[in-house]
Amino acid sequence: MIHFQLYTLTGQKFDEDVYEVILPTLDGQIGVLTGHMPLVSVATTGVISVRRNQRDADTMMDNFATYGGIIEVDKDNLRVLVDEADHSDEINETEAQHAMERAKKVLAEAKDQTSLEQAQTLIDRQTVRLQVAGLRRRSTRR
């Protein structure tokens, strides 16, 4: 088991011993299991998936929508520090879809590079939130 801690600006979101954590990095997704080599990396916008037990199916994983941060692996400890992390249970899919529509409208109306970048950040955030909501929906259909 690896001890996984997920921290946001507002405090601790997760702190448990787990079997596996899958994380988004600049080089793609990585899986962290017990005995992983020491690592410091950048977390990118994406989904952090947590498998609590070795035999848990993918549909039983906890999923968090995250928006970048720092990953640190040391011995059998994994710490991830992010600005925000939304657990699948915290995401209202309808609200996320409406926010996506608003973000697309802001992108279409952007008149300068800063506005374009801000709109794209909003779209990226809602894309991840909708992805995590979809994972939750699929896991509850079992």
Considering the domain architecture, whether residues 98 and 47 belong to the same structural domain is answered as no
Considering the domain architecture, whether residues 13 and 81 belong to the same structural domain is answered as yes
CA angle 56, 60, 64 (to 5 degrees): 120
Considering the domain architecture, whether residues 74 and 17 belong to the same structural domain is answered as yes
Residue 139 has a pLDDT of 67
Residue 137 has a pLDDT of 73
Predicted confidence pLDDT, tens digits, the chain (142 residues):
999 999 999 999 999 999 999 999 999 999 999 999 999 999 999 999 999 999 999 889 999 999 889 999 998 999 999 999 999 999 999 999 999 999 999 889 989 999 899 889 889 999 999 999 988 777 654 4
Considering the domain architecture, whether residues 33 and 78 belong to the same structural domain is answered as yes
Considering the domain architecture, whether residues 55 and 94 belong to the same structural domain is answered as no
Considering the domain architecture, whether residues 104 and 71 belong to the same structural domain is answered as no
This prediction's pTM: 0.87
Residue 141 has a pLDDT of 44
Considering the domain architecture, whether residues 102 and 70 belong to the same structural domain is answered as no
Considering the domain architecture, whether residues 82 and 104 belong to the same structural domain is answered as no
Residue 2 has a pLDDT of 97
Structure tokens given for 98: 């409406």
DSSP reduced 3-state for 30: strand
Considering the domain architecture, whether residues 134 and 66 belong to the same structural domain is answered as no
Considering the domain architecture, whether residues 45 and 6 belong to the same structural domain is answered as yes
Alpha-carbon torsion angle 130, 42, 39, 32, nearest 10: 10
Structural domain boundaries, residue 71 = 2-88
| Number of structural domains in the chain | 2
